[in-house]
Copies of this chain bind each other. A is one copy, B any other.
Amino acid sequence: MPFEPVILFFMLGLLAGVVRSDLKIPGVVYEALSIFLLLAIGLKGGVELARHDVLELAVPALVVVGVAMLIPLACFPVLHKLGRLPRSDAASIAAHYGSVSVVTFAVASSFLASRAVPADGYMTVFLALLELPALLVGVFLARRGQGQVQWSTLLHEVLAGKSIVLLAGGLLIGWLAGADGIRPLDRVFFDLFKGMLAFFLLEMGLVAAGRLGDLRRAGPFLVAFAVLAPICAGLLGVLTAGFLGFSLGNAVLLATLYASASYIAAPAAMRIAVPEANPALSIGASLGITFPFNLMAGIPLYHWLATHLQGVLS
């Protein structure tokens, strides 16, 4: 099997969408599944965090976040100058690619688990930390010289947004309760995780299929960007992981975080903070191309890169 089996569910959803099946997963189920996944990922991270000294993560966290902010800063000129996209669209897309995709992270964890490559649960902390900064950079890029941003609304939108609340809340509960306290909940939050992920990917496939039309309008430049940007960001992740002395598994996860593009927090935040940006472009690229690319080719690629560069770097 070249693929993680869960990816087959994504492909089934994609196929169902393409043949215009009447299969529809109700929006409410999408909501419920995403709440489940965010909370479960947070809890798992929190339980593992309880086994570590949180302070040890401070320096890596600073580096990881600092380097991540380079991603939107590098994407913006490419999109604006090279791709001739309007400032607002370039900034919004840059923000999507600087932020992270929770499900891509989950598939990467699952990929590592099925190859028995160990990775640390506290990587979830980086997942939570990486969501916001790129969005701020994106809004800054869109508004440079115009300065009428409602930063407080934006910060509230993201920090009180469901992904941060559930990830951070899960981390905290897991950390407070510890493995023993969480054990009675394992049957739901851990045992069901992969099956629920499969369901969610089925739904994501349906949603992504609906986005393919947007891409025709977006043109070949954006399609190329949506494949090349994650590869470059993934490489940056592998290098950063090497610099920080991360294990192979952690390196793959960091590369995946850098390479992934947000489609939960970013669209909502950009719609409010940079309303003149066209969401069809940013979501079309991140969900229509980068998400499937990462699932099917990106994650194995980052694994390969991390395996080979680790020898070189260390």
Contact = CB atoms under 8 A, between A and B. Distances in A.
Interface in A1-26: 1, 5-6, 8-9, 12, 15-16, 19-26
Interface string A183-220: 01101110110111011001000000000000000000
Given A9-B173, A28-B28, A169-B16, A21 B194 contact: no
A181 to B, nearest CB: 4
- Copy total for this chain: 3
A22 B162 contact: yes
Contacts of A113: 184
Interface stretch (A29-37, A66-74, A302-310): A29-37
A228 interface: no
B160 A20 contact: yes
Contacts of A177: 1, 5, 8
A1 B175 CA distance: 11
A216 B32 CA distance: 32
A200 to B, nearest CB: 11
A188 B196 contact: yes
A260 to B, nearest CB: 21
A23 B166 contact: yes
Interface in A157-178: 157, 160-162, 165-166, 169, 172-173, 176-178
B28 A184 contact: no
Contacts of A268: 22
B173 A5 contact: yes
A221 to B, nearest CB: 33
A152 interface: no
A172 B9 CA distance: 10
Given A22-B157, A26-B28, A29-B28, A198 B169 contact: no
A25 B21 contact: no
Contacts of A22: 157, 160-162, 268
Interface of A: 1, 5-6, 8-9, 12, 15-16, 19-26, 28-29, 31-32, 35-36, 39, 110, 113-114, 156-157, 160-162, 165-166, 169, 172-173, 176-178, 181-182, 184-185, 187-189, 191-192, 194-196, 198-199, 202, 268
